[in-house]
A and B are shown apart, each in its own frame.
Chain A
Amino acid sequence: MNLWPLLGVALVVAGFALRLNPLMVVVAAGLATGLFAGLAPDEVLRLLGEGVLRNRYLLLFVLTLPVIGLLERSGLREHAQATIAKLRAVTAGRLLIAYLALRQLMSMLGLTNIAGHAQTVRPLIAPMAEAAAERATGALPPRTRGRLLGLVAGTDNVGLFFGEDVFVAFGAVLLMQGFLESNGIVVEPIRIALWGLPTAIAAFAIHGFRLWRLDARLRREAEAERAESERP
């Protein structure tokens, strides 16, 4: 058994750990894996190129950028912030819990592309969460702000991932059903989808609990960071 291709995996882990440029690490690991598996250099390049060409749809998000960019230049983020700043009942935690629920429900209905990091997180939800947090705690110091924005993006991911598998026509459900069938096990896709529900509920409970405590946490962290920066 040829164990050498595993070195490609080790290269990826080492490259990320050493904080080398990820794009370079990934392509280098691809070349190394192919060569270690005994392929000729041009075969490896061809394999890599095939993978690139087949997955070009991953750059579709680029088409949202002119729209978002134009609106941002005309004050979309400022307006999103001003709108939220007027609503006293909205805190960063509550806003994100509502977004998590909405995102999860939409994904369960198969509406996965309705939101996303480029479409909704950067232009709308991130500035809104920031405005809500700043109304409660005052201007956010940089590290606290970075942590809040990271959590906004993370909330979008959690909502997407743990909603979509409950949707029957979603690719993952059909992939699982097809895989079982090719191994001689016939199940209805709806059974696979429904068994995704317990995890979906657990995901909402766990992440929702963290968001519920977010407002207090932001206040604490912002105070600590301000105190730290005032120390000589």
Chain B
Amino acid sequence: MKPLYLLIGALLVAVAWHVGRDPSHPRRWASGAFWALLALLFVGGDAIGPLGAGVIAVALAALAGAGRVVRGPAREEPAAQRAESAARLGHRLFGPALAIPAATVLLVLALKRATWGGRPLLEPQIQTLWALALACLLAGGLALRLTRRGPPDGVHAARDLLEAIGWAGVLPLMLAALGTVFAAAGVGDLLARGVSAVIPVQSAFACVVAYAVGMAAFTMLMGNAFAAFPVMTAGVGLPLLVKLHGADPASMVAIGMLSGYCGTLLTPMAANFNVVPAALLELKDPHGVIRAQAPTGIVLLAVNVLLMYVIVFR
């Protein structure tokens, strides 16, 4: 993973450098420092160690909290020029954009087969990440050739997009770190014990509701169904549904996890799915994505409760 982190770090260093040197940027020092500190996590992560990374996390939060991480003036080409270039390049513009997904798939398949001295070249968990990164490099090369520009233009283009996303891009990372702290402090067990203390455990339906809705609610708090799953299943699913009411465990966990996903649709804590895209699409309402998917999430959760009740006791 190290080369990938260095690559991300190098891009972030370049972004920080351009932001810091831009006299027309309203907050060039603070914003530049934000991206530079983030770059440090990637370039020097192992050398800084966990304590250093923790201090950087606090500094990033302080800069963002003080409202100092803002967007510089965008340097877009004028609309007429973009339209002219669109007409000239036509469908060829889709090539590099579609090369990212296409090359990712091919590389995943290739990396699955690649071995080095009888062992897989890359661990299975990181094959997809490597494939995506390599696909981006390949697509980057294609894009540079097609648009007849140089790598510095790529950095500038990335800077505009990254500044449009802003601190929201770092939120998924901090939420994951918060999950680590929650786990160490035993927050999950406390909540699961609370849930099982307040429901009428003799009713099978009440237990189904507690497990499915609990998964959703807990996922909303933790921002991640994977974090909610072991806690809710150990605290409510296994003791009440499987042991007390004789539910089928395989279907129970499958629908339980998907109930958690309904919660993911409803929470700003799942920042990479709900907050980053709102920033990426430059929506005025930071919760615009959540608002749009809430009806689907709520109705689907209700359907999940019914499905679980019908399926696990069949």
- Which of A's residues lie within 8 Å of B, judged by CB? 1, 3, 5-6, 8-9, 12-13, 16, 20-24, 26-31, 33-34, 36-37, 39, 42, 44-80, 82-83, 111-115, 117-124, 126, 142, 146-147, 149-154, 156-158, 160-162, 165, 171-172, 175-176, 179-180, 183, 185, 187-188, 191-196, 198-200, 202-203, 206-207, 210
Q: Which of A37, A46, A54, A210 contacts B185 (CB 8 A)?
A: A37
Residues of A within 8 A of B72 (CB): none
Q: B211: CB under 8 A from chain A?
A: no
Given that A191-B250, A202-B303 are known contacts, is A74 also in contact with B146, CB under 8 Å in the complex? yes
Closest residue to B104 on the A side, CB-wise?
A: A113
A18 smallest CB distance to B (angstroms): 12
Q: Quick check: which of B22-30, B59-67, B114-122, B200-208 contacts chain A, the rest being far away?
A: B59-67
Q: How far is the CA of A69 from the CA of B251 in the complex (A)?
A: 44
- The answer to whether A183 and B42 have CB atoms under 8 Å apart is no
Residues of B within 8 A of A8 (CB): 181-182, 185, 187
- The answer to whether A26 and B171 have CB atoms under 8 Å apart is yes
- The answer to whether A113 and B83 have CB atoms under 8 Å apart is no
- The answer to whether A150 and B143 have CB atoms under 8 Å apart is no
Q: B162: CB under 8 A from chain A?
A: yes
Closest residue to B134 on the A side, CB-wise?
A: A63
Q: How far is the CA of A105 from the CA of B106 in the complex (A)?
A: 17
- The answer to whether B104 and A62 have CB atoms under 8 Å apart is no
Interface residues in B129-146 by Cβ distance below 8 A to A read 129, 131-133, 136-137, 139-140, 143-144, 146
Residues of A within 8 A of B49 (CB): 49
- The answer to whether A192 and B173 have CB atoms under 8 Å apart is no
- The answer to whether B185 and A192 have CB atoms under 8 Å apart is no
B69 smallest CB distance to A (angstroms): 9
B58 smallest CB distance to A (angstroms): 6
- The answer to whether A74 and B82 have CB atoms under 8 Å apart is yes
Residues of A within 8 A of B258 (CB): 161-162, 165, 196, 199-200
Q: B191: CB under 8 A from chain A?
A: yes
Closest residue to B151 on the A side, CB-wise?
A: A66
- The answer to whether A50 and B296 have CB atoms under 8 Å apart is no
Given that A63-B133, A199-B303 are known contacts, is A56 also in contact with B173, CB under 8 Å in the complex? yes
Contact with A along B171-194 (1 / 0, CB 8 A): 111111111111011110011000
B31 smallest CB distance to A (angstroms): 14
Given that A63-B8, A75-B82 are known contacts, is A49 also in contact with B50, CB under 8 Å in the complex? yes
Q: Name the prevailing secondary structure of the B interface residues.
A: helix
Q: How far is the CA of A72 from the CA of B4 in the complex (A)?
A: 24
Residues of B within 8 A of A119 (CB): 97, 100-101
- The answer to whether B185 and A76 have CB atoms under 8 Å apart is no
Residues of B within 8 A of A112 (CB): 128
Q: Which of A23, A146, A162 contacts B283 (CB 8 A)?
A: A146
Q: B36: CB under 8 A from chain A?
A: no
- The answer to whether A66 and B254 have CB atoms under 8 Å apart is no
Q: How far is the CA of A23 from the CA of B177 in the complex (A)?
A: 11
- The answer to whether B229 and A176 have CB atoms under 8 Å apart is yes
Q: Which of A3, A61, A126, A172 contacts B281 (CB 8 A)?
A: A126
Q: Which of A59, A67, A154, A195 contacts B265 (CB 8 A)?
A: A154
Residues of B within 8 A of A142 (CB): 284
A22 smallest CB distance to B (angstroms): 6
- The answer to whether A78 and B82 have CB atoms under 8 Å apart is yes
Q: Which of B57, B85, B257 contacts A172 (CB 8 A)?
A: B257
Q: Which of B50, B58, B186, B229 contacts A31 (CB 8 A)?
A: B58
Q: Which of A83, A146, A160, A185 contacts B284 (CB 8 A)?
A: A146
Closest residue to A81 on the B side, CB-wise?
A: B86
Q: How far is the CA of A191 from the CA of B251 in the complex (A)?
A: 7
Residues of B within 8 A of A157 (CB): 264-265, 273-274, 289, 293
Q: Which of A152, A172, A176, A206 contacts B299 (CB 8 A)?
A: A206
Given that A1-B190, A199-B300 are known contacts, is A23 also in contact with B129, CB under 8 Å in the complex? no
**A-B contact list, 30 entries, CB within 8 Å:** A3-B190, A6-B187, A9-B182, A13-B221, A16-B269, A22-B271, A24-B65, A30-B177, A30-B178, A46-B54, A51-B179, A53-B41, A59-B170, A60-B133, A63-B136, A65-B11, A70-B153, A73-B76, A74-B89, A75-B82, A75-B87, A75-B89, A113-B101, A113-B132, A119-B97, A120-B101, A121-B280, A122-B281, A154-B265, A200-B258
Closest residue to B100 on the A side, CB-wise?
A: A119
- The answer to whether B234 and A79 have CB atoms under 8 Å apart is no
- The answer to whether A48 and B181 have CB atoms under 8 Å apart is yes
- The answer to whether A62 and B12 have CB atoms under 8 Å apart is yes
B255 smallest CB distance to A (angstroms): 6
Closest residue to B49 on the A side, CB-wise?
A: A49
Residues of B within 8 A of A33 (CB): 178, 181-182, 185, 187
Given that A12-B269, A23-B61 are known contacts, is A53 also in contact with B53, CB under 8 Å in the complex? yes
